[in-house]
Amino acid sequence: MFKAIILLLSVLAFAGLVFPSVASAECYDPPAAYVVWQKCEFKRICADPEKEKRVNWCKSKGLDGANLKSASLETIVLHHSSLKGVNLEKANLYEADLQYSDLTGANLKKAKLTKAKLQNAILRKADLSGANLHKANLEGADLTGAKLDGAKLSAVRMSGALWTDGKTKCKGGSVGECKP
């Protein structure tokens, strides 16, 4: 009887049922709970034919409309990406590289965008209410129709950005506010 219990416990331990390990996810895993895409460069991953079989969502849907609410995406590299309508509410995008990305209609409410690189990003009709953009770079970004209610814009670089009214271009040297 004792040997049977020992055998059963070792089988369960081997199967991970007694001592489950932390789930790990790689850059080519599709969006899901507990998938952490830190340091992932999606432009390269989606262009890699070896990995394309595992990431067919790159070509078919990409990240448009993905629900990444509260995701931890610190230092992620998503430049030149299509992120239209993506839900990044309360997401941690500290030092994220989103240069030249299309975030049209994105939900970035209360997102942490501290030191994010958003140069030349399209943020048309994006909701940045309550977002922390401290020291982010929005130079050349298009903010037409974006909501910035309660957003923290301290030390944000805005030179050449198109302001929320779609007409005002921020002058060179605009930091923390758009100077027409």
**pLDDT per residue over 63-83, tens digit each?**
788 888 888 888 888 888 889
Q: Which domains does the chain have, with CATH numbers?
A: 25-180 (2.160.20)
Bridge partners of 147, per DSSP, are 127
Angstrom CA distances, 109 to 19, 56, 126, 147, 168, stand at 37, 29, 9, 9, 23
Q: Is 55 a residue whose pLDDT tops 90?
A: no
Q: Are 138 and 128 in contact (CB under 8 A)?
A: no
Largest CA distance in the chain: 82
For residue 2, name the pLDDT band (cuts at 50, 70, 90). low
Q: What is the gyration radius of the CA atoms in the chain, in angstroms?
A: 21
CB of 146 within 8 A of CB of 125?
yes
For residue 45, is pLDDT > 70?
no
Mean confidence (pLDDT) of the chain: 81
Residue 17: the pLDDT is 46
